[in-house]
Chain A
């Protein structure tokens, strides 16, 4: 079964303000994006599980125009506060890379 890292063109994280981190997955091929969207694997519950936050705290938005999924969730520690490990929030995407997507047909 393909994983996100096998089929997405972009998978990244970044601050959305000092208190939130936002994680994006983009596909170059809108057809593949629609297939991934149809599996329903990417949703708020998945991000809540991967990052150990409440599902209600995850703002999950598929963005058809960009063939992209976006999830925004509260940071563990506000940017730059005591114990923060990632001031820019740029390296919090990795747990998503191994998420398996049950596609019927493998991407070209």
Chain B
């Protein structure tokens, strides 16, 4: 095959796209359409809680148009990292939406669900076999960390997705998958070399990001043996060498070495050339197969329960002494919490001060406050939700009513925008597993289930 065509509808399933883009894109005769369902980017909560960071209504709208288009064109529709985090509840929720759409639209197709959530027993087996290794600054993985985790997913490569295509699935819902894998799979399976196939996947994973103006929409990639062409279907957008180069740097620690489950994509010698005023040709990428096939693990553990409150001050006397005020506030809360039976060891309180260093915290180089108002988000993480709620309630009252030198605003120091003022955020999760494992093959961690919808 000399050209394999792929259409990605958006950056994330549920972020939306122009219906007209998909109509135009389908006339360019893609061999496959799809969308990435998620990422770790929205933080650890969604993986832990088993919820999506996108709304069901919006996901259903995006999916409905895609399923209708794919069935009409008799091409596969592939969703990567289903449900935002790609765990079992995320996968099942996405499958339920697909079945619902099929019923409503009278569609029928063979669907594959590729599971990515990992059981503690499986992972402990890998630990015992000595095939796990830490990433970033994590400690080596141990059985206790695995058992403590709320949920752990493995990040699949293209192989299980290609196998589902081999088995005749037209709609494929993958659990957690490497972002480009859902695109590399069909392109490599069609006979294109891995280097342009993986690079195309990197361009497709975020929809219209490699375009200007950049916002969630379709992107269309042509994969050829030694290069790829990137072009957005929507006539209001253009792919330019700068937009493509910008996106080539996206969310990776290195701009030249991109580690994937079965190898490494090297972009050192890439060339970005405009082939029209709205399409860019990318060539020069290389692919080096890895000696050992590795799968990344992502897991979170429960770190407590969170409650927050939001307020702001417009008082110049208070703003001029805000650091002292917050320090006094902290010690007052400790005393009052201890009085109702909550020792300081049972909670953590963090006050973010917007207008000072609320965005960059310890990295903020500006020391002088120039704002006439300051905003505060008070976060309390407690051992239980009751503890978090009680401490945040006390923190709210104390922020409002505490005295300070030179105080004129004797009725209250803070403006609270909401009633209720305290917001319960529920369980709080933190990333606890960020490791790689070397399975015996690319499939054993990712069982595939087929059904006729």
The residues of A with any CB-CB pair to B shorter than 8 Å are 9-10, 14-20, 22, 24, 26, 28, 50-52, 59, 61, 63, 65-68, 70, 72, 74, 76-88, 91-92, 94-95
Contacts and interface: CB of A to CB of B under 8 A. Distances in A.
A68 B358 contact: no
Contacts of B268: 65
A19 B255 contact: no
Contact of B431 (A10, A18, A94): A18
Contacts, number: 134
B253 A72 contact: yes
A22 B328 CA distance: 36
Bin the interface of chain B by size: 35 or more
Given A19-B136, A83-B350, A95-B363, A24 B249 contact: yes
B361 interface: yes
B236 to A, nearest CB: 20
Contact of A65 (B254, B272, B361): B272
Interface of B: 40-45, 135-137, 242, 245-246, 248-256, 267-272, 284, 303, 348, 350, 352, 358-363, 365, 379, 381, 428-431, 434
Contacts of B253: 16-17, 20, 22, 59, 72
Contacts of A79: 40-41, 43-44, 431
Contacts of A10: 242, 246
A10 to B, nearest CB: 5
Contact of B251 (A22, A59, A61, A87): A22
B53 to A, nearest CB: 10
B363 A26 contact: no
B361 A18 contact: no
B363 A76 contact: yes
A59 B253 CA distance: 8
Contact of A88 (B41, B252, B272): B41
Contact of A70 (B41, B135, B254, B303): B254
Contacts of B267: 65
A66 B242 CA distance: 7
B261 to A, nearest CB: 15
A82 B379 contact: yes
Contacts of A92: 360, 363
A65 B379 contact: no
B362 A52 contact: yes
B100 to A, nearest CB: 30
A89 B284 CA distance: 30
Contacts of B272: 65-66
Given A14-B250, A17-B40, A94-B360, A81 B303 contact: yes
Contacts of B252: 16, 22
Contact of A85 (B44, B242, B358, B381): B358
Contacts of A50: 365
B41 A15 contact: yes
Contact of B362 (A61, A76, A94, A95): A76
A31 to B, nearest CB: 14
A37 to B, nearest CB: 14
Q: Which 4 A-B pairs have the closest CB atoms?
A: A80-B43, A66-B245, A63-B255, A19-B136
Contacts of B431: 18-19, 78-81
A78 B246 CA distance: 25
Nearest to B428: A82
Nearest to A65: B270
Nearest to A64: B268
Nearest to A72: B253
Contacts of B242: 9-10, 26, 28
A40 B363 CA distance: 23
